[in-house]
Amino acid sequence: MSSDMKFDQGLTLPEILSGNDLKIMLLPEKVRYSLRIKPSDIAAVNKASGLKLPRKIGGSNLGKDQFVMCLGPDEWFVVANVDARDRLEKIFAKLEKSFTLSITDVSHRNICFGLMGADAVKAVNIGCPLDLSLEHFPVGKVTRTVFESAPIILTRTGEDNFGIECWRSFAPYIRGFFERYATDKAAA
Amino acid sequence: MGEYRKSGKGRVDHSEAVRFSFDGKSYEGLRGDTVASALMANGVHLLGRSFKYHRPRGAVGVGFEEPNALVTVRRGKGRMTPNLRATALEIYNGMEVTSQNRWPNLNFDIGAFNNTFSAFFPAGFYNKTFMWPKSFWDKVYEPFIRNMAGLGPAPTEPDPDVYASTYAHCDVLIVGAGPAGLAAAIAASKKDQRVVLVDENTELGGSLLGATGATIDGKPSEAWLAKTIKDLDKAQNVTVMTRTSAIGFYHDNFVALSERLTDHVPSLKPGQSREKLHRMRAGRVILAQGAIERPLVFNGNDRPGVMLASAAQTYINRYGVGVGKNIACFTAHDSAYQAVFDLADSNIRVAAIVDARKELAADILAQAQSRGIDVITNAVISKTGGKNRIKSIEVYSPDTGTKRQVNCDALLMSGGWTPSLHLWSHSKGSIKWDAATKVYLPDQANENCVCIGACNGDFGIKTALNAGSKAAGGRKSYKVEEADFGQGQIFDQLPNYIAPQKTKAFVDFQNDVTDKDIKLAVREGFKSIEHVKRYTTNGMATDQGKTSNLNALEIASKALGKDAPQVGLTTFRPPYTPTTFGAICGYRTDDLFEVTRKTPIDPWAESQGAVFEPVGIWRRAWYFPKPGEDMHAAVARECKATRDSLGIFDASTLGKIEVVGPDAAKFMNIMYTNPWSKLGVGACRYGLMLREDGYIYDDGVVGRLAEDRFHVTTTTGGAPRVYRHMEDYLQTEFPELEVWLTSTTEQWSVIALNGPNARKLIEPFVEGIDLSPESFPHMAVREGKICGVPTRLFRVSFSGELGFEVNVPAHFGKYVWETLFEAGQKYDITPYGTETMHVLRAEKGFIIVGQDTDGTVTPHDAGMSWIVSKKKKDFVGKRSLQRSDLVAEGRKHLIGLLTDDPNVVLEEGAQIVTDPNQPIPMDMLGHVTSSYWSEALGRSIAMALVRDGFNRMDEELYIPMPGGVNHKAKVVKPMFYDPKGERLNVL
């Protein structure tokens, strides 16, 4: 169902900007789950599920087809490719039987912008007030933050690779900043 | 080349002429000139008229501190900027500059009659005079005063320019690139840290640009500067930003930097940003803002050609412009001598130096004498001559009473130096009074911040360089040969033989405040400088008193007979210099000014010509007008179509929270007034939420999907606060509960289908759910598929009709909507907006939280006691419901109103009384909360909060309206349509 006409993330152009030093893309369909687990259960959950949930808030684990982030003391966020859905849901069903936890499908709540290139830090910083130097925001770090007035989850998967997860209705607003930035870059 | 230009001198490019116009006349300047320097090179000193008295004025300064020389630059349609300082404005070919605050022209200005009658315009004149009649203020006095006492005209067209903004971080931010800032940057660059050096000028150097002749580490200062700039350019970890003003210093070393990108170039590329706001978070801030020279306050000190000595020095050394051919100087500080010497050494005649001090250092005197300069000590200037340019000064020696006229075409003045504390004060750094030099100096820092160089009271190049190096962790000791910066004396008052009422000695040039105004303020009882400032407007102009604050303080403290610290210092507030709104907004203009959230179905509504309304930060379809329909007609049609057959409504904005965990029902029992334990899986219930104070906070339908999983809905606007409210209680009051909350508002697109044909429409598309009324009754929820995508299908109704709310994953929302809309054609499916939704629910008497409630309405007030559990031990707000004032008689109750005239639709918000003929102020019983035309009933309906409303059934009340109309209405139960709810059960 993923690639047919029914699916609509609300942004018409997948590619906002494509240059040597900066590419900004709307990522294709993903599945997303919010996991709420008692911190005391983490080791057991990891053992039972093989999910590799990071223990540190702001930590993440990037696998072949899934990205697991720790957003809070008892909160994890899993983003995965669509074909991982069945595998993950089987794991979750198993976990729900053995543990007291909460798993909520939020696949369609968010969209994700991918930013790549030497200029990616600058592009994120036009709206995000965090210090993105590698010392303060190393590769692998994730956090809830803001992009101007929009709440986002910011992820760094490489020195020049960022993801901005936001709720669907905030996407055009964030995209608008990238467009203004692109015009600026072209004119400068 | 202008006749006042010194060939080959200065940092301007003598090989590149630049043509611009001032008041329509063409002038030639050089690349690197400012408007002021280029005009002075052409002998033009008259640049504007003053604010209040319209007196002719020229440049007093040479940079951003300038109070006088404000001009307007026009760059084509919509690109008109008033109140720019000619002294800080770079020229470019084709630039159009005009003077301000004069009519019909700069040389002859009618408003100058204010000057003649200035004795009638003392401080507080407007406040005292235009008191009566009061009604004249808005229409007569204020427009007149604004017109006469204006600065440049405000732009009337939208600004076509675009602006940029960003966040940035550094370890060390250095503000000001004079010797102190440069030395700090060099020292900082040698460590592994990110360094940013900003300066508002076009080039780095600060005071080194204006004063030549010193050597630093054996090199002439110009060569040292050139090498330093090159070194900083090479340093990978240093970012140098010129044309960048640090406009505000906020908490935690957050500094706003406004960068001017294009104002100095003739034309912009399309899409190019004019200015950029850098929101900089710095680990450490080094302020090297320098000091501003103080004018002397003497009779006639505002004539064009009278300027600060350091300004004249900069005009000759940086721009190669002599400010006159025969200059004089009036000083109370040694530093002015060096300025005069620099001019003298450029073959400018010096008529005299008048020094207010009795004694003068011998070596300075010797240097003056060696140049043949006449120095008159223990003397003052008692008046100046000339109309639009100074022609002469009268030198008065108070001890002997002698007077002497000296001719000159420019007058340099120096009353000492004022360290710039602006940003330091923004950061809430404390200041201390230095009695010796009579200035305020930085004291205790409030942030990780330090002041160095002249802004810390440390004058001289060597002092500044060494302080800069030390502040950035360096240990360099610079070898400097320079003229001694010297010392000065501060005078609160200069003696004059002329009676005070016949003199005009300006303190604040831009706001035309004289020493007499300040003394008058003190005489009239103002004791704090903050009050003196507001009464006289001293320091309140666009220059924020950069040249006037300390002089005003001296005069006020002397008049009060108190020390300056007891009189205070006015507060510095951001921005440091006038800043465009464009820069403050950055990218956040037009559609980016605020977030507008749109649903997945919004593009469809837009394509159908929907009219939208904002709800919170969402935009929602309000109604769908057909050609020729107004709102009333469209809503009436939408209501009728829904009740007759089928309406479709986008309810995606409803807040949704997934409440999951073994204690989910327990948690729901706490958060809502009604019970949840016995709600079966697959059933729905309406829930009402209170705040701790017992007032209605939110409501919504909740479905139980599993023993441990609830799908909670909230109002559109309430979603974020309800989520926070729940988290707050969960984390702080009931952390022992095993339950978690996840916002799913945007996971689900919600399509509400209402009307007798709702079931028939969805039947063919639904898989895995038995839609028959027996197995899927009203107030139930099922999971299955619709149009091939997963759904949580609710059978609920906010209209009183058979209703379904189709929840589908958001990215499928538009597809499902379009599919159902297509199939609904055979039922004349009608899309409706929020207005029709409101009418339909009002006909049923369902409340809208925030419209029929206002934060002071209890469930009982709203007629909803039925939803408050009497058995539950606790829920949020329960205890408050027992408070005496919440159970008291005479509270306002939500009731229905039917107007006597069925065609009258009351105004929402209108007040309600028993007797419209009672005297004003009337006893107001309450107000109309909801009011609509009901197409189904063929008449108007309304809901209202009315004192003791439940006991007024069938009573007739009045709603007085402007114009003497009194609407009569009868109190009824707020249930206007299908009171038995039979329409829900249509098969």
Interface test with A, best of B267, B747, B750 (most A CBs within 10 A): B747
* A169: nearest CB among B598, B662, B789: B598
Q: Is B253 on the interface with A (CB under 8 A)?
A: no
Chain-chain contact of A1 with B789 (C-beta, under 8 angstroms): yes
Q: How far is C-alpha A49 from the chain's CA centre?
A: 21
* Tokens, residue B271: 């899409």
What is the CATH T-level fold of the domain A30-106, as seen in this structure? Alpha-Beta Plaits (3.30.70)
CATH 3.30.1360.120 residue ranges for chain A: 12-29+109-188
* pLDDT value of position B270: 84
* pLDDT value of position A3: 45
Q: What whole-number distance in Å separates Cα of residue A139 and Cα of residue A104?
A: 27
Average pLDDT over residues A87-108: 97
* pLDDT value of position B154: 81
CA of A118 vs chain B CAs: smallest distance (Å): 16
Chain-chain contact of A180 with B815 (C-beta, under 8 angstroms): no
* Tokens, residue B698: 């939110």
Residues B59, B40: contact at Cβ < 8 Å? yes
Closest CA to B910 of B940, B888, B952: B940
Residues B357, B338: contact at Cβ < 8 Å? no
Which residue of chain A comes nearest to B261, CA vs CA? Answer: A188
Q: Is A72 on the interface with B (CB under 8 A)?
A: no
CA of B944 vs chain A CAs: smallest distance (Å): 35
**Element at B312 (helix H, strand E):** helix B309-319
CA of A127 vs chain B CAs: smallest distance (Å): 6
Count residue pairs from A and B with Cβ separation < 8 A: 139
Chain-chain contact of A102 with B742 (C-beta, under 8 angstroms): yes
Compute how many other C-beta atoms are within 10 angstroms of the C-beta atom of residue B917. Answer: 9
Chain-chain contact of B661 with A100 (C-beta, under 8 angstroms): yes
Interfacial B residues in 645-704 facing A (CB < 8 Å):
658, 660-662
* Tokens, residue B696: 């209605």
Q: What string of DSSP letters covers B80-95?
A: EEEEEEGGG-B--TTE
Which chain B residues contact residue A36 at CB under 8 A? 660-661, 740, 742
Residues B411, B401: contact at Cβ < 8 Å? no
* pLDDT value of position B133: 64
Our CA angle for B703, B705, B711, nearest 5°, is 45
**How would you label B22-33 residue by residue, b for 16+ Cβ within 10 Å and e otherwise?**
bbeeebbbbebb
3 state SS for B422-443: HHHHHCCCCEEEECCCCEEEEC
**Element at B702 (helix H, strand E):** strand B696-706
Q: Is A30 on the interface with B (CB under 8 A)?
A: no
Q: Is A145 on the interface with B (CB under 8 A)?
A: no
Please name every residue paired with B709 in a beta bridge, in sequence order, or none if there are none: B660, B706
The DSSP bridge pattern shows strands B926-934 and B939-947 to be antiparallel
Chain-chain contact of A8 with B169 (C-beta, under 8 angstroms): no
Chain-chain contact of B594 with A149 (C-beta, under 8 angstroms): yes
Chain-chain contact of B788 with A149 (C-beta, under 8 angstroms): no
Between helix B179-189 and helix B221-234 the angle, nearest 10°, is 40
Interfacial B residues in 562-621 facing A (CB < 8 Å):
587-588, 591-592, 594-600, 603, 618
Q: E-strand spans in B201-272?
A: 215-216, 219-220, 238-241, 244-250, 254-260
Closest CA to B789 of B816, B814, B764: B816
Q: Does domain A12-29+109-188 have CATH number 3.40.640.10?
A: no
* pLDDT value of position B119: 63
Compute how many other C-beta atoms are within 10 angstroms of the C-beta atom of residue B345. Answer: 12
Q: What are phi and psi of B926, to 5 degrees?
A: 165, -160
* Tokens, residue B920: 């004003």
Which residue of chain B comes nearest to A12, CA vs CA? Answer: B603
Interface test with A, best of B598, B667, B792, B811 (most A CBs within 10 A): B811
Interfacial A residues in 85-104 facing B (CB < 8 Å):
100-104
Q: What whole-number distance in Å separates Cα of residue B597 and Cα of residue B618?
A: 4
Q: What whole-number distance in Å separates Cα of residue B698 and Cα of residue B728?
A: 16
Compute how many other C-beta atoms are within 10 angstroms of the C-beta atom of residue B691. Answer: 14
The DSSP bridge pattern shows strands B349-355 and B380-385 to be unpaired
Q: What whole-number distance in Å separates Cα of residue B756 and Cα of residue B987?
A: 8
Our CA angle for B300, B302, B307, nearest 5°, is 115
* pLDDT value of position B704: 98
Cα–Cα separations (whole angstroms), residue B308 to B196, B359, B600: 31, 22, 64
Looking at every residue in chain A, the average pLDDT score rounds to 94
CATH 3.30.70.1520 residue ranges for chain A: 30-106
Residues B353, B364: contact at Cβ < 8 Å? no
Interface test with B, best of A37, A78, A107, A180 (most B CBs within 10 A): A180
CA of A123 vs chain B CAs: smallest distance (Å): 9
Closest CA to B648 of B791, B717, B750: B750
Render pLDDT for A23-50 as a digit per residue (tens, 0 to 9): 999 999 999 999 999 999 999 999 999 9
Chain-chain contact of A131 with B597 (C-beta, under 8 angstroms): no
Which residue of chain B comes nearest to A107, CA vs CA? Answer: B747
With a cut of 50, which residues of chain B have pLDDT below it?
none
Alpha helices (H) in B853-941, listed in sequence order: 884-887
Interfacial B residues in 738-757 facing A (CB < 8 Å):
738-740, 742-749
Average pLDDT over residues A104-131: 97
* Tokens, residue A20: 């040597």
Could you tell me the pTM of the whole model?
0.93
Q: Is B171 on the interface with A (CB under 8 A)?
A: no
* pLDDT value of position B226: 97
Which chain B residues contact residue A128 at CB under 8 A? 167
Closest CA to B493 of B360, B648, B641, B332: B332
Q: What whole-number distance in Å separates Cα of residue B188 and Cα of residue B474?
A: 7
Q: What whole-number distance in Å separates Cα of residue A166 and Cα of residue A152?
A: 5
Q: Which residue has the tokens 């620099």?
A: B342
* Tokens, residue B406: 């000296």
Which chain A residues contact residue B603 at CB under 8 A? 10
Compute how many other C-beta atoms are within 10 angstroms of the C-beta atom of residue B525. Answer: 8
Q: What are phi and psi of B767, to 5 degrees?
A: -120, 140
Interfacial B residues in 501-530 facing A (CB < 8 Å):
none
Q: What string of DSSP letters covers B610-635?
A: -EEEEETTEEEEEE-PPTT--HHHHH
AA letter at B125:
F
Which chain B residues contact residue A167 at CB under 8 A? 745-746
Chain-chain contact of A106 with B742 (C-beta, under 8 angstroms): yes
In the structure, how many helices (H) and strands (E) does chain B have? Answer: 26, 51
Which residue of chain B comes nearest to A184, CA vs CA? Answer: B272
Render pLDDT for A46-72 as a digit per residue (tens, 0 to 9): 999 999 999 999 999 999 999 999 999
ipTM, 2 dp:
0.96
The CA-to-CA distance between both ends of chain A, in Å, stands at 43
* A109: nearest CB among B165, B603, B746: B746
Q: What whole-number distance in Å separates Cα of residue B304 and Cα of residue B432?
A: 35
Q: Which residue has the tokens 């409030």?
A: B446
Which chain A residues contact residue B281 at CB under 8 A? 129, 131
Which domains, ranges and CATH numbers included, belong to chain B?
Answer: 13-125 (3.10.20.440), 162-292+419-473 (3.50.50.60), 295-415 (3.50.50.60), 505-570 (1.10.10.1100), 622-841 (3.30.1360.120), 889-982 (2.40.30.110)
The DSSP bridge pattern shows strands B966-972 and B291-293 to be unpaired
Which residue of chain B comes nearest to A74, CA vs CA? Answer: B740
Interfacial A residues in 35-54 facing B (CB < 8 Å):
36, 38
Which residue of chain A comes nearest to B169, CA vs CA? Answer: A131
Residues B458, B467: contact at Cβ < 8 Å? yes
Which chain A residues contact residue B166 at CB under 8 A? 122, 125-126
Chain-chain contact of B281 with A129 (C-beta, under 8 angstroms): yes
Interface test with B, best of A7, A40, A106 (most B CBs within 10 A): A106
* pLDDT value of position A11: 86
Which residue of chain B comes nearest to A133, CA vs CA? Answer: B169
Interface test with B, best of A122, A167, A169, A170 (most B CBs within 10 A): A169
Sheet of B375-376, strand order: B306-308, B410-414, B326-331, B349-355, B375-376
Q: Is A125 on the interface with B (CB under 8 A)?
A: yes
CA of A39 vs chain B CAs: smallest distance (Å): 12
